[in-house]
Amino acid sequence: MNSRRSWFVFGIGAFAYLVAVMQRTSIGVAGVSATERFHVSASVLSSLAVVQLIVYAAMQIPVGVLIDRIGSRRLMLTGTALMVAGQIAVAFAPSIAVAILGRILVGAGDATVFTSVMRLTNSWFRGRIVPQLSQWIGNIGQLGQVLSAIPFALILHQAGWTTAFLSAASLSVLALIAIAVAVFDRPVGSTEGPRPATWSESLRQLRVSLARPGTQLGFWSHFVTQSSGTVFSLMWGLPFMVFALGIDPAEAAALLIVSVVTGLIAGPVLGLLTARFPLRRSNLVLGIVGMMGVVWAVVLLWPGVPPAWLLVVLLIAIGIGGPGSVIGFDFARTSNPLHSLGSANGIVNVGGFLASFVMMFLIGVALDLQNGARVAAGGAPDLYALDAFRWAFAIQYVIVGLGVALLVRARRRTRRRMQEDEGIEVAPIWVSLSDAWRRRSGRETR
């Protein structure tokens, strides 16, 4: 455990996830080009990303069960091969239908990687370093968005659609080779126990994990923190910046890097805070969600075109949401035994992507409805008008608000379980802060 070999396995796994994120986010950078290539409406265009996320989210629980049953290595090899096939299909797609099929394959392959790497980390490492490494997996993976925002976008604009997506597929080939050579499920002499002997035993473990309040708390934490950034980076951020705000496409793609850099800075900090204050993880999650909600409100209510500095603040805010979502996996880690952690992580990982594809699709529908109403009233068509985006993006408040309500409910049940099983009572945050202030004041007066 925590050996040089552990770090090597971790590095290859993180690289594989980086490549998977690049494949996932490449369609967001190509959104404008896809509109021109396939000549489709906003809601149909959103299906390129939505079906990918639907497949990704739908596969998370089966993938989690398979990780516990057959191991991470086989799933990562299969998933990376599917991403190669999917990006090749998109590269040569003559129609939107073929492109959607390709993105389904990408989503299926992408679904196997992150949860597998998280499981590998828990098998190869022990101690307080685990939540920090979990944040680093997310951070390193988000560098894949940099690859899609800069080199992929550059190839797309200079060499065209086919060359760009074939180049992306070639990176997955490299990841496939690295996994085959270097990744193994557990170290020699591991004491984590045998895998489930039968599929019925695997399904029983899944039901037990799903019933745990801590797993549910992880699900809703992921739901409320990850979705806003995913929707913006994967689908609607680029059209919003290019058409509604009038930013050059290359500059808009480069601006997406702000969120990635923010995540690289915020992730280690959140990892340390998660390890240092394990009883206050939900307060971190709620604080991040509240901060994003305030920034989005300022952007959507700003009179006229929001200034560049405010756009950067928005990108920073949703960039913090990415590593914030990883806290959900720490709830799963501390609420489930190692032999069923794959299932628990799969459940958690559904959360953010479920919220994302619902929001992504509804935003596309809202844009189409407003454009249709404008044309019916005799106005000129303007699918990506700024005012239309204001109303469409406001849909986030409904989805995330529902998630926050269910998060608070799951937190209440988790704390009740902790008190019953372990005798640990978690006081409200203001009570703890007041006690800490009194203790500090008492020391200073001595």
C-beta of residue 354 within 8 angstroms of C-beta of residue 318: no
Please check the confidence at residue 306 and state whether its pLDDT lies above 60.
yes
For each of the domains in the chain, give its residue range(s) and CATH number, in order of start: 4-185+199-439 (1.20.1250.20)
Task: Calculate the CA 6 to chain-centre distance.
Answer: 25
Please check the confidence at residue 436 and state whether its pLDDT lies above 60.
no
Closest CA relative to residue 63, chosen from 74, 48, 52: 74
* Mean pLDDT on 241-245: 92
* Mean pLDDT on 251-269: 87
Instruction: Write down the pLDDT at residue 359.
Output: 93
Q: Is the dihedral of CA 6, 12, 15, 21 positive or negative?
A: negative
What is the residue-averaged pLDDT of the chain? 87
- Tokens 């899944």 belong to residue: 206
C-beta of residue 429 within 8 angstroms of C-beta of residue 283: yes
Alpha carbons 198 and 201: distance in angstroms, whole number: 5
* Mean pLDDT on 142-169: 88
Alpha carbons 104 and 62: distance in angstroms, whole number: 16
Cβ atoms within 10 A of the Cβ of 443, count?
8
Instruction: Write down the pLDDT at residue 105.
Output: 94
**Cβ density class 60-71: b for 16+ within 10 Å, e for less:** bbebbbbbbbeb
Alpha carbons 227 and 351: distance in angstroms, whole number: 9
Please check the confidence at residue 273 and state whether its pLDDT lies above 80.
yes
Instruction: Please tell me the number of Cα atoms within 13 Å of 223 on its side-chain side.
Output: 26
* Mean pLDDT on 107-131: 88
* Mean pLDDT on 32-61: 79
Closest CA relative to residue 336, chosen from 218, 244, 436: 218
Rounded (5°) CA angle 283-284-290 = 85
Task: Calculate the CA 137 to chain-centre distance.
Answer: 12
Alpha carbons 224 and 289: distance in angstroms, whole number: 7
Cβ atoms within 10 A of the Cβ of 263, count?
27
Closest CA relative to residue 402, chosen from 369, 342, 362: 362
Angle, helices 281-301/327-335, rounded to nearest 10 degrees: 160
Alpha carbons 445 and 188: distance in angstroms, whole number: 56
* Mean pLDDT on 301-309: 93
C-beta of residue 61 within 8 angstroms of C-beta of residue 368: no
C-beta of residue 32 within 8 angstroms of C-beta of residue 218: no
Residue predicted with more confidence, 51 or 331: 331
Enter the pTM of the model.
0.79
* Mean pLDDT on 146-152: 85
Please check the confidence at residue 59 and state whether its pLDDT lies above 70.
yes
Where does residue 163 fall: left (phi above 0), alpha (psi -120 to 50 degrees), or beta otherwise?
alpha
Alpha carbons 300 and 340: distance in angstroms, whole number: 43
* Mean pLDDT on 292-301: 96
